[in-house]
Amino acid sequence: MAEGIPVFPRVLKPVHELGSASAGFVIPNGRMGREASPNLQGRETTPMFVGIDVSKDRLDVHLRPGGEAFAVARDGEGLAALTARLAGLTPSLIVLEATGGFETVVASALAAAHLPLAVVNPRQIRDFARATGKLAKTDALDAASIARFAEAIRPEPRPVADEEALLLGELVARRRQLIDMMTAERNRRRQLTSKALIKKLDRHLDLLQEQLAELEADIGTTIKGSPAWREKDELLQSVPGIGPKIALTLIAELPELGTISRREIAALAGVAPFNRDSGTMRGRRMIAGGRTPVRAALYMSVLVSIRRNLPLANHYERLPAAGKPAKVAIVACMRKLLTTLNAILRDQKSWQNA
């Protein structure tokens, strides 16, 4: 012990030495008397899985199957120490939750070190923890649950978006927020009777419209500045019913499009129906999960196709004629459209040439 600071074996330095005085000390795992894991000695006997719980100022890390646990600050020095240690351990998989943006820097640092990484939905982790009887919740326990999830489920590592892709995603998300605000303001305007309040609200709408126009110009510049995105945009817009806004949403919100199978892309977007059967009972197939902005974009594209009698309308008309409900027919068209777009980007052929 030096200057009142405890030092534990097999853990990193105290967190405050890594750049955050308020984050506390490294948390030992309570196994001080045991021999170091063979993985930590460089002898890879079994696959290693790492779970990382991300918070604003700190990262709690848990290793499986050894059970080692430690914490580092979520800053430059902490991330450098973490990536260096994990790179030396050569883990089979690292899993962390999507936490509304805090995980972005961590994921980028780990990806830059060429470590196998999967960023998963927090709901999956929590459901897994409940299923295994882990009801208590702390940062350290969450990290342990994430590591157990990684070891048991083994989600497929996926590449992390680069800075340009992150920027485009933020621009598209901000555009969606502005549109939501404008819709809410227009709904409020209908309820007003005061001319003075209506005038003020109209000024706010004009301001939001100006910001939206500027943002769309920035998005267009970003798309045109990337040859890959420009080509993808042209391929997507070659499909009847896909306009600039829908193509933009697909590029930003579904970067996996064209790189995975049709079933995987349908499940990822949330347009794949899931069975609900038990014994002799056959339940209704329903879609669940997925990415809401992508589903909304596909839905609008299908509606446009139906109303304008575009090629996809023929597929839609056959389904109600066969007794399918209208909503089921629309979702089926959304899935057909998505799988078509997936094949077009995979084969790099426009709709006219497909």
- Check which CATH number belongs to the domain holding 59 and give it: 3.30.420
For residue 81, give the nearest of 48, 47, 53, 58 by alpha carbon.
58
Q: Which of 92, 121, 153 is the last residue of a domain?
A: 153
The C-alpha atoms of residue 166 and residue 104 are separated, in whole angstroms, by 9
Tell me, what's the pLDDT at 274?
A: 77
The C-alpha atoms of residue 319 and residue 34 are separated, in whole angstroms, by 65
Tell me, what's the pLDDT at 255?
A: 87
* Whole-number Cα distances in Å, 84 to 77, 81, 109, 342: 11, 5, 10, 37
Domain count, the chain: 3
Both 96 and 144 in a single domain? yes
Q: What are phi and psi of 188, to 5 degrees?
A: -65, -35
Both 288 and 169 in a single domain? no
The C-alpha atoms of residue 89 and residue 153 are separated, in whole angstroms, by 21
Tell me, what's the pLDDT at 278?
A: 74
Is the separation of the CB atoms in 44 and 90 below 8 Å?
yes
The C-alpha atoms of residue 324 and residue 317 are separated, in whole angstroms, by 10
199 part of a folded domain: yes
Q: Which of 129, 153, 177 is the last residue of a domain?
A: 153
10 part of a folded domain: no
How does DSSP classify residue 274?
Answer: B
Both 291 and 169 in a single domain? no
Q: Which of 207, 225, 243 is the last residue of a domain?
A: 225
Both 119 and 102 in a single domain? yes
For residue 61, give the nearest of 83, 32, 41, 36 by alpha carbon.
83
Is the separation of the CB atoms in 174 and 211 below 8 Å?
no
Q: What is the CA radius of gyration of the chain?
A: 25
Both 217 and 252 in a single domain? no
- Residue 27 structure tokens: 């948390």
* Whole-number Cα distances in Å, 118 to 52, 79, 98: 11, 17, 10
User: Which residue type does 105 have?
Assistant: V
Q: Note the residue count of the chain.
A: 354
Both 233 and 311 in a single domain? yes
How does DSSP classify residue 5?
Answer: B
Residue with the two structure tokens 């027919």 = 329
Both 262 and 349 in a single domain? yes
Tell me, what's the pLDDT at 35?
A: 46
Cis peptide before 244 (omega within 30 of 0): no
The C-alpha atoms of residue 128 and residue 204 are separated, in whole angstroms, by 45
Q: With b meaning 16 or more CB within 10 Å and e meaning fewer, what string describes 60-78?
A: bbbbbebebbbbbbbbeeb
6 part of a folded domain: no
Both 232 and 313 in a single domain? yes
Is the separation of the CB atoms in 26 and 12 below 8 Å?
yes
Tell me, what's the pLDDT at 83?
A: 92
The C-alpha atoms of residue 353 and residue 331 are separated, in whole angstroms, by 26
35 part of a folded domain: yes
Tell me, what's the pLDDT at 13?
A: 44
Helix axes 292-307, 244-253, angle to 10 degrees: 150
Give me the long-range contacts of 191-197 (CB less than 8 A, separation at least 24): none
Tell me, what's the pLDDT at 45?
A: 64
Both 318 and 338 in a single domain? yes
Both 112 and 173 in a single domain? no
Give the strand pairing for 93-97 and 49-54. parallel
Both 167 and 149 in a single domain? no
Tell me, what's the pLDDT at 353?
A: 57
Please tell me the chain's helix, strand, coil percentages from 3-state DSSP, rounded to the nearest 5.
55, 10, 35
Tell me, what's the pLDDT at 160?
A: 76
How does DSSP classify residue 70?
Answer: E
Residue 179: which domain range? 162-225
Both 139 and 187 in a single domain? no
- Residue 114 structure tokens: 């060429």
For residue 252, give the nearest of 349, 341, 170, 345 by alpha carbon.
170
Q: What tens-digit pLDDT sequence spans the chain (354 residues)?
A: 444 444 433 345 444 444 443 344 344 444 443 444 444 454 546 899 999 999 988 999 999 999 999 999 998 899 999 999 999 999 999 999 987 778 888 988 898 888 999 999 888 899 998 998 988 889 999 999 999 999 999 998 887 777 778 888 888 889 999 999 999 999 999 999 999 999 999 999 999 999 999 999 998 888 888 888 899 999 999 999 999 999 989 998 888 899 899 999 998 898 988 777 777 777 777 777 788 899 999 999 999 999 999 999 999 999 999 999 999 999 999 999 999 999 999 999 998 755
